[in-house]
Amino acid sequence: MSVVRIELPHCTYDVLIEPGALTRLGEVVRACAPHKRCGLLADPAVAQPWGELARQSLVRAGYGVAQVALEPGEKHKTLAAVERIYGALAEARLERRSPLIALGGGVTGDTVGFVAATWLRGVPFVQCPTTLLAMVDASVGGKVGVNLPAGKNLVGAFYQPVAVVIDPRVLGTLPARELGCGLAESIKHGVLGDPALLDLIERRMSELRGRDPQALAELVHRNVVVKAGVVMRDERESGERAHLNLGHTFAHAIEATMGYGELLHGEAVGLGLIAAAELAHRTGLCGAPLVARLRALVAAAGLPLTAALPDDEVLWAAMQRDKKVADDRLRFVLPEREGRVRMRDDLSRADVSAAWRAIRA
């Protein structure tokens, strides 16, 4: 078992990583949010058998469990879904001290987290991520929110969970494409803050893709340590936390222009990492070996190396609309060497176009 503690000025919580952790969910929730009742909000795709394991553990710990089934998928990460959940919580008579447990991937965690931040002006919530992407990134650090027709994650809050419970066994039933998406965010964390994490991914790739629970637990642990460090130093993204956007300026433009669902988010991030490395190399920030290493890692994770991208004009316009534009300047996080990145907002359109060419099919 490993525990990573996140200490912020206003709260402290633990991320528990252990094969079998779901069977201990009830005791973990009771230790940080004791009450008579709780809400278990789950994506039905993970409800069996993991939802039942979680429910039984909560019952053993003395909770009356109100179960709420969420509609799966990014298209349900909306204010309408949030309103429907408020209705279910009201009907179940959940109170201000009743914790909410989010069991699912990033969409579930982000939506339930936003509900928790606003229902009765804020109730305790526990993240139980069931995808690799949510385990290594979305469940840690307190970014919660939903999409609007105008863009992704435009409504939200920084609202920290009271605990994160990660059971790598659930990854045994995760589709291969989804596993690859989590590997993309893991490669990102290695590039921006932990060269040994890149070594681990390279060395143990076949065990990771073969769902070896110990290899996955080690991977998740190292990722959470990187993410926790960044969040503890800059919870509200006034500086270093923006480094977590490595590859995302490209990825968001890919998703926005190719349609959400064509490529999964992690697949777009894999492409974005290659484009960012190409851009860094072209502008003299990093050497060719780093670009080649990243390409090889993305390929070994089973992620695409190219995509049928639209024209530059379309991509450029999408980049300008990204919410990471500051003072009308596009800001890129670029790799300098393994474990170190740098922010740049002075890049030419020609350089950016060359980066797009490097990943265009």
What are the catalytic residues? Answer: 121, 143, 185, 227, 237, 241, 245, 248, 252, 265
Q: Which stretch binds ligand GLY (CB under 6 A): 122-130, 135-143, 272-280, 327-335?
A: 135-143
Residues that bind ligand GLY (rule: CB under 6 A) add up to a total of 5
Helix, strand counts (H, E) of the chain: 15, 11
State how far the Cα of 195 lies from the Cα of 126, in Å rounded to an integer.
30
Report in angstroms how near the CB of residue 54 gets to ligand GLY at its nearest.
24
Distances in whole angstroms, Cα of residue 130 to Cα of each of 72, 226, 289: 13, 19, 34
Site mask, ligand GLY, residues 193-232, x = CB under 6 A?
A: ----------------------------------------
143 contributes a contact to ligand GLY by CB under 6 A? yes
Residue choice 37, 84, 209, 241 for contact with ligand GLY (CB under 6 A): 241
State how far the Cα of 147 lies from the Cα of 136, in Å rounded to an integer.
21
**Which conformational region is residue 211 in: left (phi greater than 0), alpha (psi within -120 to 50 degrees), or beta?**
left
State how far the Cα of 19 lies from the Cα of 2, in Å rounded to an integer.
10
- Residues forming a β-bridge with 165: 16
137 contributes a contact to ligand GLY by CB under 6 A? yes
Using alpha carbons only, how large is the chain's radius of gyration in Å?
20
Which CB sits closer to ligand GLY, 124 or 141?
A: 141
Residue 251, helix vs strand vs coil: helix
Report in angstroms how near the CB of residue 237 gets to ligand GLY at its nearest.
6
235 contributes a contact to ligand GLY by CB under 6 A? no
Report in angstroms how near the CB of residue 230 gets to ligand GLY at its nearest.
8
Residue sitting closest to ligand GLY (CB): 244
187 contributes a contact to ligand GLY by CB under 6 A? no
324 contributes a contact to ligand GLY by CB under 6 A? no
141 contributes a contact to ligand GLY by CB under 6 A? yes
244 contributes a contact to ligand GLY by CB under 6 A? yes
Distances in whole angstroms, Cα of residue 49 to Cα of each of 23, 148, 149, 303: 12, 32, 34, 28
What length does the chain have?
Answer: 361
Q: Which stretch binds ligand GLY (CB under 6 A): 76-84, 107-115, 137-145, 351-359?
A: 137-145
Which CB sits closer to ligand GLY, 18 or 137?
A: 137
- Residues forming a β-bridge with 41: 68, 102
CB atoms < 10 A from the CB of 314, how many?
Answer: 14
**List of residues contacting ligand GLY (CB under 6 A):** 137, 141, 143, 241, 244
